Amino acid sequence: MPKYLVLLLLCFCGVAVCAQPKKPAKGKRYRYDAYPMVSPHDDCVFNSKYTLGERLKRYPFNEAVTILAVSYHNFNGGQPNQEIRVDSLGKIIPTPQIDTLKYGLWIKQGALDGTSIVELVKLSKAQIRSLTNLIYNTDFRVKGNNGVDPGYNCFAPRNALLFFDKNGKIFDYIQICFACQNYESKSGRINLGTECYQKMDLAKKWFINQGVQFGTIKRDDE
């Protein structure tokens, strides 16, 4: 066989071998992460940065005379519609079968409508101390380029903190949806502090420790 044919054949074989995909090393697996893993830097850790006096000088605690932790019905739990009768003018005729329970947090002119309330706890000084510790003294393990979980794209709150002024009126409140990992406040000035990774779980445990089970352990359909 001519030498140039031998050389040509060797070159062709070499290219074919190089073109074959490489197999992963034995025992090594490749995976694709759709979402980045949570960094340990984002974990919640407790610190004693702020004293109780410093924490109580912050809004809304500096204006609150009384603070309530509450739970309330958010919807009818998927129950079928009650029997409703309508008169000739289209108005609903009240019947014993109509569900009169309100859903959601009802506050009018600073007064709480307790119709939808399931549980209500007036916070003691010790409970306020632990709440402010959770908000102000629970921070990222390591600060800098921390990721923040935005929660789910829903909001069906069943728990809230209500802040009363010296006249017994609710001047602000924060509603919390543990199922959706979100919260909102009336003024936009109240939050749960640094949004480290376990903050919502810690807030849920705080409510449970105060005796509030609805919205944390139990829901409308349970």
The CA angle 27-30-32, to the nearest 5 degrees, is: 155
Residue 131 and residue 140: Cα distance in Å, rounded?
Answer: 17
Quick one: average pLDDT of 96-123? 82
| pLDDT for residue 82 | 43
Q: For residue 87, give the amino acid letter.
A: D
Condensed to tens digits (0 to 9), the pLDDT of residues 43-102 reads 899 999 999 999 999 999 999 999 999 999 987 443 433 444 445 554 545 554 444 556
Condensed to tens digits (0 to 9), the pLDDT of residues 130-166 reads 999 999 999 888 775 655 555 567 889 999 999 999 9
Q: Give the global pTM.
A: 0.70
> SS3 of 142, please?
coil
Residue 163 and residue 155: Cα distance in Å, rounded?
Answer: 21
Residue 191 and residue 210: Cα distance in Å, rounded?
Answer: 19
Tokens of 126: 């010790």
Tokens of 172: 């602000």
Express as a percent the part of the chain with pLDDT over 90.
52
Residue 171 in contact with residue 60, Cβ under 8 Å?
yes
